[in-house]
Amino acid sequence: MTEKREYTGDYPEKKLYIPGPTGVRDDVIEAMSEPMFGHRMDRMTDLYTTIVEDTKEFLGTDNDVIILTGSGTEFWEASTLNLVDENILVPTCGSFSERHANVAERLGKNVDRLEYEWGQAIKPEDIRETLESSDKHYDVVATVMNESSTGVRNPVEEIGDVVAEYPDTYFVVDAVSSLGGDYVDIDEHNIDVLFASSQKAFAMPPGLAICTVSEDAYQREVEKDSASWYGGFQRCIDYYDRKGQTHSTPAIPIMLAYRKQMKYMLEEGHEGRSERHREMAEYTRDWAYEHFDMFPEEGYESQTVACIENTQGIDVAGTIEEVSEKYDMVFSNGYGSTLGEKTFRIGHMGEHTVESIKELTDAIEDVADL
């Protein structure tokens, strides 16, 4: 039984190096403190059309963009409801891809998993073989781009090229923990639906889910007689086309923060941001090889989350606690009970730089006596 614990407001500020949420610029936080306005006012149309069109520009996509109050999880559910009649193929390689499969099962779909050992990456040739040899028609292939539990970056571009050979199969990508920090050409690689959460590499407060939708995915939903209500592509996109707003009341303050942060993101650019994240990932990997090892299969390491194998047997939980107390920096243990002490994770995403990541690795070296 959970009991009430008073929120005192009296907490030391911690620098976040977890796989989300990530630190948010002060002026982006401040952007949220405007007096409230109505979600059907002209001002809302100004705000919502700005953030939607800026996001399209940032991502360089001609696909539609939906920005909805909720978190990325919303689009596991909505994309399944909108696109899957019967069969969905979900390659699983960690906790989040497994959860995608669970969500689809919960919604009554027939889910076929293509199971990989945790730490391994999904291989395009396996997807091709499954699609070629199966006697089932898959409505959707659903792939996680960045498996946050294992720090694996899956080759969604090549997988998209394979799925493109099956025109009645839609390709759905969970880019929750990579979008904004790892370049992906959505239109070039047949990605029908790609979604992310605001609190990861976008470095915004949590509370918004971002989703791109291809014309084909939109049309497919139009032809079907069942779809998510809240996350229905047609409902969201048609409302935007007619009114430039969302179909229901959104988290306006977070959208104000989004507007501010997206200006910074446009300045840096999709590729520029990706390059900065690549440098952080490279630095962290080199550091990991010097003291430990990397957990993911070589060549598939994430650009936003380093999952480091604890080859030295350090006390992961104890180190995290001490680094937090002594340096006010927080990083993550491994995912779940299996990887908890066997690995630890550093989120190098959002506004971080090689310099700020180095501050953390110096702190870990000090505390763990490396």
Ligand X SMILES: Cc1ncc(COP(=O)(O)O)c(C=O)c1O
Summarize as ranges the residues that interact with ligand X (CB under 6 A): 20, 71-73, 96, 144, 146, 148, 174, 176-177, 197
Using CA atoms, how far apart are residues 185 and 173, in angstroms rounded to an integer?
12
Nearest residue to ligand X by CB is 71
Q: How far is the CB of 302 from ligand X (least distance, A)?
A: 10
Question: At closest approach, how far in Å is the CB of 96 from ligand X?
Answer: 4
Note whether 175 and 186 are within 8 A (CB). Answer: no
Q: Quick one: residue 250, left, alpha or beta (phi over 0 = left, psi -120 to 50 = alpha)?
A: beta
DSSP state letters, 254-291: HHHHHHHHHHHHHHH-HHHHHHHHHHHHHHHHHHHHHH
Which of 63/146 has CB closer to ligand X? 146
Least distance to ligand X, CB of residue 134, Å: 25
Cβ 195 to ligand X shortest distance, Å: 9
Which residue, 100 or 314, has its beta carbon nearer to ligand X?
100
Cβ burial of 165 (10 Å; 0-12, 13-18, 19+) is exposed
Task: Give whichever of 96 and 300 is closer to ligand X, judged by the CB atom.
Answer: 96
Q: For residues 352 and 303, is the Cβ–Cβ distance under 8 A?
A: no
CB atoms within 10 A of CB 90: 29
CB of 8 to ligand X, least distance (A): 25
For residue 169, the Cα-to-chain-centroid distance in whole angstroms is 22
> Given the complex with ligand X, which of 139 and 174 has the nearer CB atom?
174
Q: What is the DSSP letter of 3?
A: -
Q: Which is nearer to ligand X, 97 or 274 (CB)?
A: 97
Pairwise CA distance, residues 288 & 264, whole Å = 30
Smallest distance from the beta carbon of 287 to ligand X, in angstroms? 22
Q: Which is nearer to ligand X, 44 or 69 (CB)?
A: 69
Pick between residue 174 and residue 301 the one whose CB is nearest to ligand X: 174
> Helix, strand, coil % (nearest 5) of the chain?
40, 15, 40
Please give the Cα distance from 75 to 71 (Å, whole number).
Answer: 8
Q: How far is the CB of 132 from ligand X (least distance, A)?
A: 27
